[in-house]
């Protein structure tokens, strides 16, 4: 058995079930973008690239925290034998309210968003709103399923979502729908249909239980949304900053998105363990199993480091050739550009693992402080004079490295302030190093 396999076996149960769905969903991202790249003109592909980036950054930043908080809360309730139905009801209300606010802002600012991001194509704004709706529904249901340990249903939703993205993208190409809008609507239809498939399981698994107070659900959500928005901004900033600073570089925008997707292969794999990791950390924390918590955290860091090495070497050596072959990307990036992207991905994954540890300890503000620091470093490097492509990729590595270092320092320092009172004195990692 390989070291990576031994490490994976030590992680929380359910990883294998989610892994299968994650592989399909991850492959779907490549197929979707590859088919679009071969079907669309460069300017239309740039529009799809920007929409995809906004969905993966702002959209995930707004709604993925809801999944994380639901996973943490439901897993902790499960330890004490409490049902998840009260949590699901309030989460549905919260997700609906958040989505309504987002759609309202898109409606108010549709014209400037279309002009700045989509070269005046206003229907792309409505496609963006549809993709946000898909995220709101999927992350709410996935949070409940992950917290309850229903990873088969969780993985099924991922697999159906990914499978539909592949099928719909291929249908667009086969039907000759060579428009940015057609390929963008895939991000609305696929997740909504996938949620419909797993919704009965979610409802059946959510048993009645003691009511949950609104403060328990929303107390850490604000800082967590801030952290996730910043994290998604950092991981997607290369495309966004190039679009804003050099809007005429449409070839570079398209190539950077394709390069990011390739360099971030380990992120898709990490998603297979993220839900079960958070559920396991939350369960260990709720049960007071400090040693289990630390062991799980250390092994998760080793796993993501190994994943980054396995995925990063091919990206550096053959990245330029691969994105030309797979996505018909313009030949504008070098091996050095891919090296910066790979290093940034490694630091980003370490920051994700350390951030989950902080979140489970109710230290949402400390997590936010890490991403604020990383974002400040990223912006500073981006605004330096010089080549725009180099600034875009180097800022990603610098920003994620700063974030991971701040979070690591916070976890291992001897003393630290908690965001909320706790009945367990001391820092988990700090006490372990004393």
Q: Is the CB of residue 333 less than 8 Å from the CB of residue 378?
A: no
Domain hosting 166: range is 3-433
Pairwise pLDDT comparison (429 vs 81), residue with the higher score? 81
Q: CA separation (Å) from 43 to 8, 130, 238, 290? A: 42, 22, 18, 53
Residue 208, number of CB atoms within 10 A of its CB: 9
Pairwise pLDDT comparison (106 vs 258), residue with the higher score? 106
Nearest alpha-carbon partner for 347 in 383, 292, 394: 394
Question: What is the spatial distance between Cα 180 and Cα 35, in angstroms, rounded to a whole number?
Answer: 12
48 has a pLDDT exceeding 80: yes
pTM over 0.75: no
Nearest alpha-carbon partner for 265 in 318, 186, 336, 207: 318
- Domain total in the chain: 1
Roughly how many angstroms between the first and final C-alpha of the chain, as a whole number? 34
Pairwise pLDDT comparison (17 vs 418), residue with the higher score? 17
Pairwise pLDDT comparison (322 vs 272), residue with the higher score? 322
């Amino acid at each position: 058995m390989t070291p990576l396999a031994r490490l994976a076996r030590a992680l929380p149960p359910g990883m294998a079930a989610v892994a299968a769905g994650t592989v399909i969903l991850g492959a779907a991202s490549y197929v979707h973008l590859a088919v679009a790249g071969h079907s669309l003109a460069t300017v239309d592909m740039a529009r799809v690239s920007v929409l995809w980036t906004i969905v993966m950054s702002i959209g995930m930043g707004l709604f993925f925290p809801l999944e994380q908080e639901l996973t943490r809360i439901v897993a902790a309730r499960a330890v004490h034998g409490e049902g998840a139905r009260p949590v699901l009801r309030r989460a549905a209300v919260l997700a609906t309210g958040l989505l309504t606010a987002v759609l309202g802002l898109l409606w108010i600012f549709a014209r400037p968003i279309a002009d700045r991001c989509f070269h005046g194509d206003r229907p792309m704004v409505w496609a963006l709103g549809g993709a946000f709706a898909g995220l709101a529904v999927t992350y709410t249901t996935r949070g409940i399923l992950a917290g309850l340990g229903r990873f088969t249903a969780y993985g099924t939703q991922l697999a159906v979502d990914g499978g539909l993205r592949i099928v719909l993208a291929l249908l667009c190409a086969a039907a000759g729908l060579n428009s940015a809008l057609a390929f963008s609507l895939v991000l609305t239809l696929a997740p909504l249909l996938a949620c419909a498939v797993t919704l009965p399981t979610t409802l059946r698994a959510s048993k009645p239980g003691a009511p949950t107070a609104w403060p328990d659900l929303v107390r850490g959500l604000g800082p967590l949304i801030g952290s996730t928005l910043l994290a998604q901004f950092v991981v997607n900033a290369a495309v966004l900053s190039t679009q804003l600073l050099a809007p005429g570089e449409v070839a570079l925008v398209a190539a950077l998105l394709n390069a990011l997707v390739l360099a971030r292969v380990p992120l898709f794999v990490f998603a297979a363990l993220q839900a079960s990791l958070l559920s396991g950390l939350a369960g260990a924390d709720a049960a007071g199993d400090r040693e289990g918590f630390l062991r799980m955290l250390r092994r998760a860091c080793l796993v993501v480091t190994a994943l980054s090495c396995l995925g990063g070497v091919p990206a550096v050596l053959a990245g330029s050739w691969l994105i030309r072959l797979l996505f018909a990307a313009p030949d504008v990036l070098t091996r050095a550009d891919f090296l910066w992207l790979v290093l940034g991905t490694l630091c980003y994954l370490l920051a994700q693992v350390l951030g989950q540890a902080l979140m489970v300890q109710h230290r949402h503000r400390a997590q936010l402080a890490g991403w604020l620091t990383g974002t400040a470093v990223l912006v500073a490097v981006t605004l330096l004079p010089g080549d725009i492509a180099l600034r875009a990729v180097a800022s990603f590595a610098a920003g994620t490295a700063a974030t991971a270092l701040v979070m690591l320092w916070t976890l291992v320092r001897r003393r630290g302030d908690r965001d909320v009172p706790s009945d367990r004195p001391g820092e988990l990692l700090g006490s372990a190093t004393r």
